[in-house]
Amino acid sequence: MTKRVDRRKFLAGGASIATAGLAGCALMGGGSSDTIKLGILEDQSGNFALVGSPKHKASLLAIEEINNDGGINGQQIEYYDPDPQSSNDRYLELTRRMVQQRDVDALWAGYSSATRETIRPYIDQQDQLYFYTTQYEGGVCDKNVFAVGPTARQQLGSVLPYLVEEYGPRIYTIAADYNFGQLSADWVKVLADENDAEVIGEEFIPLSNSQFSSTINRIQDADPDFVMSMLVGQNHTSFYEQKASAGLDIPIGTSTAMAQGYEHLRLDPPAMANIYAGVNYMQEIPTNRNTRDGGFVDRYYDMWPDAPYLNEEAENNYFSIYMYKRAVEQAGTTDQEEVKAALESGITYPAPEAPDGEEIKLVPETHHVNHHMWVMRADENHNVEAVDDRVIDETFLKDTVGCDLTSKDEEKQYTPQDYYEEAG
């Protein structure tokens, strides 16, 4: 069956709709021609459920709000949300089903870059409008893809300069050993060069690794001013507990910890002490739109009272559905090419990450977002506070690469190694 969000069903039935999605029931039956059909493929189980489940929940919140407010151009939204189960093979299967059988007007799908790259060839073959909402390494210049999460240059570009100014120029990098971690480490080198700093050590950690004593010893021997960590996944979470046990109290900057997997709540203090996260969103960011009575946080937990956390990617799913709404209203149609053109007109939205009076902007040429970025610090008791914030534009694709999807169709991912000698 297809599903149309109804507030009373949520209040009366709790998690029944989410459970239906887990069972795959959302793929049975047919949609109505007078509705707008969205595909929401986010991990509700498997290795990425911890970070994917909030994305799924925030998507349904946005859909419910829009439907309760009259829909889009008078049309209600129906959604299909089978569980990809953190499997790239299943993502590809379900993406094909969303396009071929469900004829979705737009698709939200995937946490990892590996997932995105698994389905992107098919997305491009079908010219399917696709929103990728995870913070990621950056560089995707693709006519069909709207990569609305912050890039590594935006996230690391918020926290690394702050740490250089506060603690000094000597950096030790630890990163997950796959494309995200490797490209993020390249960005650390680029940003270090731009901020008169240097990378004095670099390690890539397999995703299966959960023992960090040797890494911790090497960091202690190198004695950097701070560490940049782009570790990923449950196994890598043990680094923070082990570094605390070993007495490693060097400041750590990160683009992955706290905002996604809420380690500051899941781990006992002082595991995350002196961790600085460069993010566009955390549940704790101190904007009025986020924290006021009836704000984003309240609305999320009103719908999902048992949810453990409202993470960075959840906000990205939420605001991008509203950006899609604005684009359809501007285009006057759900025709995907016309909606893409409307998105390329410079759509803005008052996202929870942005202070009052400010809206984040979708960059027409690159399909990325100029985000309001925050540096969030956890203390020894895992209390989190904002220590810096500013708007950081997406500049790599627009200014360095020259990606302009308003004048030239592309389907490529560019890397810092293509343009920066220090990244080689």
For residue 33, the model assigns a pLDDT of 66
Is residue 19 in some structural domain?
no
The reply to whether 166 and 110 lie within a common domain is: no
Is residue 25 in some structural domain?
no
Q: Which of 256, 279, 302 is the last residue of a domain?
A: 279
Is residue 423 in some structural domain?
no
The reply to whether 252 and 265 lie within a common domain is: yes
For residue 258, the model assigns a pLDDT of 97
The reply to whether 145 and 157 lie within a common domain is: no
pTM of the model: 0.92
The reply to whether 409 and 335 lie within a common domain is: yes
Q: Which of 279, 308, 329 is the last residue of a domain?
A: 279
Structural domain boundaries enclosing 190 = 153-279
Q: Which of 222, 247, 279 is the last residue of a domain?
A: 279
For residue 24, the model assigns a pLDDT of 39
Is residue 331 in some structural domain?
yes
Is residue 18 in some structural domain?
no
The reply to whether 270 and 222 lie within a common domain is: yes
Q: Which CATH number goes with the domain that contains 211?
A: 3.40.50.2300
Is residue 11 in some structural domain?
no
Is residue 219 in some structural domain?
yes
The reply to whether 275 and 157 lie within a common domain is: yes
For residue 196, the model assigns a pLDDT of 98
The pair of structure tokens assigned to 56 is 């799924």
The reply to whether 129 and 175 lie within a common domain is: no
Is residue 113 in some structural domain?
yes
For residue 361, the model assigns a pLDDT of 98
**Average pLDDT per 10 consecutive residues for the chain, totaling 424 residues:** 39 33 36 84 94 97 98 98 97 98 98 95 98 97 98 97 98 94 96 98 96 98 98 93 97 97 96 98 98 98 98 98 98 98 97 98 98 98 98 97 97 95 79
For residue 179, the model assigns a pLDDT of 87
How many distinct structural domains can be found in the chain? 2
